[in-house]
Structures are given as structure tokens and as C-alpha cells.
């Protein structure tokens, strides 16, 4: 987005610094402590409403930090089409909060009139890439912004997939003109669950299209890694992050923590770790 700031903080681009995912339990602490983070990212759906404490808190936080809005409910890969009412609420949130980045997921979420409220995986096929790209294009036109599309964690593979994940995402970028949000933890989780090559995925993505990185923790349940966002980032993911910023350059990097949420100080410390790696690699001032 290129509009000028109206809230005291530049609307874009978000600096190539580390930020934090804003969750309601941290609203008061963030406003009081104003920690040194590069930006905040909020789940769009949590701020859909006409009023309330959460909306007021984000409006206040928005005066101190650049904002990224990150949608988790649109499911633009749903074959039954885009939920227009949901899309309109995303647009209202964009107008209200003036984010510098707006992102969604490469996933689907509803079928037969039922929403599953999860990031359901798409098969890496030409058909799915075409449909996702078409609906991303429609959404971008309606919203008036370029979307960043995030790769999701996968616990299953599709028997008839014909593309690699990076080929699939590259196809969506080429067809829709969207950008990418690379979730390094998701790549790691999928690679462990499905026997994929995480480094090959990072190497294969269209480098110029990656505009943001996500980091998060996961947990192991039996033999499966679950993208739980419930712990610190593991060493293997930090290592992949080093690989990613070496390839894609300095990028806004978000630490997400959605379950078993720690104190704001712990979350900020985790983001500072990402900032340290950015500084090490690219010599950026914190």
C-alpha cells in the first residue's frame, strides 16, 4: 500500500525488522511497555467488529507500530468460491487500520456450506494453482492491495499432486501477481511430516516475491509435528531461517505464538533473536 500515513506511523513498507504477533492477552502490556519491535501483526478476523476492547487496543497500538493484517479465515483455495461477506469485512478492516501488509494463506476452508476454521491443504496441482491464483486475483482487486500468500503446514500429501510446493506457489505468484509470506516453521513441519526437502523449497521459491517471513514453534504428537504455535522456535527452524534470509535478503520477520502464550517479554525476546540474525547477516541497525 502506498498511501501516506494518517496515524503517525508509515504505512509501508514494513521495515526489514523482527516483529511480533499481537494477541489480546498482550494488548495492555504492549500499550504500556511499547517494546522495541519492528512491527506488529494481527489476525484480521479478530478485528472485524464495529467496536469493543480489541478494536480500540489495535487502533492505539497502530499509532506506535507499523501493522500487518494476517487473515486466517478466508481460505482462498476453496473450490466453492470466495466468501464475499468475509472479504468485505477484510476490506473494512483494511480501511480502518491501514495496514502496510495484508496476508492470507494458500489453503481452503469450507465445503458444503460448512467452515472448518483451519488452514486445509491444497493439492499441488495445476488446477488448484489456477483456482487459488484466480481467487487471489479477485480478492486483490476487491481489496485494492497486493496480498502476501503464506505456505501452510501439511499433515497429509495428496496422491495425485503433480507440482512441488515451490512450483505450486510460483505458479500462483505468476498468475495472480501476489507476493509470498514464507513461513519457515511450516516448511520445516511439512518436510518432517511428509519427507520433503525444506532447503530445496527455500531454494525453489521465486526470491523476488517473498516479502515477509514467519517463525513459530511446533510440538510433536506421536510421529507427527503439529504447527501449534505454542513454544519457542526450534534450532532447526532457526537454521532454516538463516538460509532463508541469506537467499531472500532482509525481510520483515514475525514470531507467532498463539497457544500457551508466554509473557510479552518472552515473545519480544524471541523476536529479538530473529532481529539479531537479521543484523548478523545484513548488518541492519536494530
Partner 1 sequence: MASLHELQKSFADALRDPTVACAVLPPANLSIYRNNARAAFLSALELTFPVVRRRVGDDYFRQLATHYRERSPSRSGDLHWAGRDFPPFLDEHLRGGDYAWLADLARIEWSRAECSVAAALPVLSATALARFAAHDFEHLVFGLQPSLRLHSSPYPVFSVWLANQTENAPPVDQSRGSECGMVLARSDHLEVRHINERMFSFLSALQSGLPLGEAIVHADLEIEALTGALDFIFSENLVSSLSLNEAPPTTK
How many residues are given for the chain?
A: 286
Cell match 515473545: residue?
267
* 80 scored as a contact of partner 1 (CB under 8 A): yes
Sequence-separated (6 or more) residues with CB below 8 Å from residue 112? 80
Which of 119, 115, 116, 71 shows the shortest CA–CA distance to 93? 71
Binding to partner 1, residues 157-186 (CB under 8 A): 157-160
Buried b (16+ CB within 10 A) or exposed e, 51-66: eeebbebbeebbebbb
Pairing state of beta strands 101-105 and 148-150?
A: parallel
* 48 scored as a contact of partner 1 (CB under 8 A): yes
Pick one of 25, 53, 174, 203: the residue that binds partner 1 (CB under 8 A). 53
Nearer to partner 1, 11 or 61 (CB): 61
Cell triple for 57? 487496543
Span from 76-84, 211-219, 234-242, 266-274 in contact with partner 1 (CB under 8 A): 76-84
Least separation in angstroms between residue 136's CB and partner 1 is: 15
Pick one of 32, 50, 141, 235: the residue that binds partner 1 (CB under 8 A). 50
Span from 74-82, 163-171, 212-220, 233-241 in contact with partner 1 (CB under 8 A): 74-82
* 32 scored as a contact of partner 1 (CB under 8 A): no
Q: What is the largest CA-CA distance in the chain?
A: 52
Nearer to partner 1, 50 or 235 (CB): 50
Binding to partner 1, residues 86-125 (CB under 8 A): 86, 89, 108-118, 120, 122-123, 125
Could you tell me how many residues of this chain bind partner 1 (CB under 8 A)? 48
DSSP string, 93-121: HHHHH--SEEEEES-EEEETTEEEEEEEP
Structure letter (DSSP) for residue 171: H
Binding to partner 1, residues 217-236 (CB under 8 A): 221, 224, 226
Nearer to partner 1, 149 or 251 (CB): 149
Which of 124, 141, 215, 125 shows the shortest CA–CA distance to 178? 141
Pairing state of beta strands 219-221 and 224-226?
A: antiparallel
Site of interaction with partner 1 (CB under 8 A): 45, 48-55, 72-75, 78-80, 83, 85-86, 89, 108-118, 120, 122-123, 125, 127-128, 131, 155-160, 193, 221, 224, 226
Amino acid at each position: 500500500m502506498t498511501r501516506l500515513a494518517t496515524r503517525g506511523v508509515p504505512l509501508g513498507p514494513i521495515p526489514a525488522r523482527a516483529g511480533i504477533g499481537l494477541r489480546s492477552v498482550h494488548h495492555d502490556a504492549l500499550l504500556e511497555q511499547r517494546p522495541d519491535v519492528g512491527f506488529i501483526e494481527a489476525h484480521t478476523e479478530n478485528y472485524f467488529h464495529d467496536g469493543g476492547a480489541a478494536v480500540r487496543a489495535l487502533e492505539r497500538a497502530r499509532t506506535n507500530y507499523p501493522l500487518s493484517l494476517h487473515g486466517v479465515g478466508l481460505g482462498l483455495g476453496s473450490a466453492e468460491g470466495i466468501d464475499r461477506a468475509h472479504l468485505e469485512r477484510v476490506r473494512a478492516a483494511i480501511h480502518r487500520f491501514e495496514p502496510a501488509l495484508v496476508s492470507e494463506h494458500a489453503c481452503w476452508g469450507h465445503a458444503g456450506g460448512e467452515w472448518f476454521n483451519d488452514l486445509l491443504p491444497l493439492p499441488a496441482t495445476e488446477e488448484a494453482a489456477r483456482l487459488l491464483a484466480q481467487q487471489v486475483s479477485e480478492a486483490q482487486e476487491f481489496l485494492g492491495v497486493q496480498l502476501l500468500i503464506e505456505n501452510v503446514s501439511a499433515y497429509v500429501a495428496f496422491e495425485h499432486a503433480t507440482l512441488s510446493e515451490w512450483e505450486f506457489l510460483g505458479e500462483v505468484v505468476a498468475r495472480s501477481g501476489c507476493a509470498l509470506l514464507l513461513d519457515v516453521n511450516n516448511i520445516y513441519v511439512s518436510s518432517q511430516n511428509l519427507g520433503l526437502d525444506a532447503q530445496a523449497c527455500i531454494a525453489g521459491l521465486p526470491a523476488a516475491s517473498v516479502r515477509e517471513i514467519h517463525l513459530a514453534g511446533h510440538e510433536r504428537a506421536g510421529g507427527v509435528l503439529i504447527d501449534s504455535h505454542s513454544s519457542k522456535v526450534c534450532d532447526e527452524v532457526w537454521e532454516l531461517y538463516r538460509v532463508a534470509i541469506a537467499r531472500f535478503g532482509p525481510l520483515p520477520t514475525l514470531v507467532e505464538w498463539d497457544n500457551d502464550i508466554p509473557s510479552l517479554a518472552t515473545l519480544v525476546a524471541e523476536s529479538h533473536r530473529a532481529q539479531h540474525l537479521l543484523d548478523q547477516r545484513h548488518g541492519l541497525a536494530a
